[in-house]
Each structure stands twice: as structure tokens, then as C-alpha cells.
Amino acid sequence: MGYLGKDFGTTPGDLRAQPPVAIPTKSRSKSAFQNIRRHITRDKKILEIGPLLRPMAAKRDRYNVYIVDKLDRDGLMRHYRHLGSDVHLIEEVDFVWEDGTLLDSIPNEHHSTFDVVFLSHVLEHVPDPLGFLKSCHSLLKPGGVISIALPDKRYCFDLFRPLSTTADWLEASRNRDAVHTRKTLFETSITAVAKRGMISWPDKDAIIAEQMTFVTMSLGEAFRTYYGEGQSNAYIDCHAWVFTPASFALIAHECYALGVCGLSLESVTTTQNGEFFAHLQFAERRVIDHHERLQLMALATREQVEGYKLIEPARSRPMRAAARVVVAGVPKMKRAMRQAVLVVLSSILLECEPLGWIAF
């Protein structure tokens, strides 16, 4: 029964009688590497997507693995020749995914035959995640698992971007996006930041605004590109989707409940070294109810606040002062939430001033 059926009207008493849905949980594995590999064994048929130099299940280690990438091995070695001698670690590519869906790139005899599909820091680049997961569903055996490593937006260049939502995924699926939208590219261009030249940094590391710079183009250049002609059908790589562990869990549960994704969330970890891990399974589970949705929404909000608490904006800019005036007008706001609102509002004001939309 889907989320929109009789399960909508659950009560706290009902919740105690039901098995819990997956929420972010600290991994019991000794290392992050062990957690993401826990479904990978040599007796399983594995599909690994875009491993490049660091395959999780290497052919040279006698795993029954098939590799998908955007180029064949020779093409990848030429494209990444700047990596020097390490380029020889790239393994033979079995299926080249040039265009169309992932399923289109893999011969029919391999459909419904894989035990595990593995991808590390790939899903956030895919223009249509629901279409991609539908392909994975068709490639897996019943009971099969897709294991995913994802960056936590709080500890990388995505820090200032808003969390992706189920609505975003549904819109991309409805449009059957094959390339990233102008909105996505514009948002990425104007918000991607580096800290002391690094595009990712340790968990819970303090972030001082004066130490940060923008990674890509200027605000004006991004604005002109957004309204410019051409390139609308060209694939330009970026992070289309940004998550924290709870926000990803919420999307996964909602998409399964709505019937738009046939893979249920088995588990999701908390963040370690800037990334977290999720395992989706070709198996039936009960759908999330509205109490649990609210819990995950609250957890995602708290994760955001924890990330923003690490930021200390510049104190001398007039936009900072203007943001303080607005925030001061909201009574009884907790300190952590006040800091989070201050950071976001200061960022918005800083962006609008060069465009001439506001003046100080």
C-alpha cells in the first residue's frame, strides 16, 4: 500500500508496532571502506559505475565485476593522462555509456542479473536520478543492492546550496533531463566555494568567511551565461543534487512510497570524512509514514544548522549589518538558528548587490 493509501493516517501507537524505516545511523563497520563494501564479495556479480583509478571491486583482484564508464579504457587513459603513472590503474571498460539511459548501454542478457550495483560520488552528477535508479532496478536481481557513496554538502563546495528535494527529482524525471538545466548550472556557478583553495574539508572544521573564495565564474558572468544562447543541449558536469544523510534518506523513502522508485532504502550512515553511504535494495519494505517524514525533515534541518554553525561571516560588510537588523527583529530565535539565518541572508544580499537589485 502506498503512502497515499490507508497508511497515511498512522498514530504514535501504530509506529511502535511497526519496524522502523532507515534513518542516518553511525556505521558499525570498523571503517567507511568496510561499510560501503559490505555487500561486495567475489561470488557476486557486480556492476561498478565510473570507478576510474579506484575500483571498489577490482578485476585484478578476481572479482566478478563489469565496469561502465563514459569512454573505453584507451579513451579514459588519454583523457586522464595528466594523472601520470597512476593512469595504468584504470581497468578495462565493459560497457560505454555515451547517451540514453544506463539500461540502454548494457546488453539485454545482463538485465536482472546483477547482485550489486556500486557507485561512488556519481549520483549527484546524474541529471535524472529517478531514471537512473529505474535502470539500476532493471539490472538487479530481486534482493540485489545498489551501494552509493555520496558527499555531504556541509563539508564541500556545495556548502551554501539548498538541499535537493523529492520535488526536484520528480521534476527532472518528468522532463526526462539528459543534461543539467540552466538553473542548476547557474546555482552551481554562483555558490560553489573553496576553503583555502580546497573544495572539501574535514568534518566539523571551522569555516571563516575570509578564508573562502568562489570556485568558478563571477556572478555577472554566470548571469550572462544563464541568459546566453547555445549549450542548452550540451552536457556540462556539475553537482546537480546536494544532500545531508537525513535529506537523502527522506528523498529515498518518499520516492519508494510514491511508487516512482522500486528500490527501498536498506540503510544510510552518518557522515564520516565528508561522505556518507546508502544502500538501496530490490526488496519490499513498509513505506514511510508522516510522523517519520517529519522526523527526517527535523534531522535534515538540524544537520544544516550544524554545518552553518561552523561558519563565521565577515563582520565589516554593510550586508552583514543589514542581515543583523532583519534577524534581530525575530524574537526568541535560538542562537544556532539565528547564526544559520544570518549566514544565508548575508549570502543573498551579497549576491543581489552586484546585479543592481539592491543598493547600500
Convert the pLDDT of each residue in 81-139 to its tens digit. Answer: 887 778 888 999 999 998 899 999 999 999 999 999 999 999 999 999 999 999 999 99
* Higher local confidence (pLDDT), 348 or 284: 284
Whole-number Å distance between alpha carbons of 106 and 7: 38
**pLDDT score of 324 more than 90:** no
**Buried residues in 20-34 as b, exposed as e (16+ CB within 10 A):** ebbbbeebeeeebee
Sequence-separated (6 or more) residues with CB below 8 Å from residue 191: 158, 160, 161
- What is the reported pLDDT for 275? 94
The percentage of the chain sitting over the pLDDT mark of 90, rounded to a whole number, equals 59
- What is the reported pLDDT for 227? 86
Convert the pLDDT of each residue in 194-228 to its tens digit. Answer: 998 899 998 877 888 888 889 987 888 889 888 88
Q: For 152-161, 185-194, 298-307, 310-319, which range has the lowest pLDDT when averaged over its residues?
A: 310-319
Sequence-separated (6 or more) residues with CB below 8 Å from residue 196: 211
CB 139 within 8 A of CB 106: yes
The whole-number average pLDDT for the span 247-257 is 98
CB 223 within 8 A of CB 297: no
- What is the reported pLDDT for 87? 87
- Confidence grade of residue 11 (pLDDT, cut at 50, 70, 90): very low
- What is the reported pLDDT for 258? 97
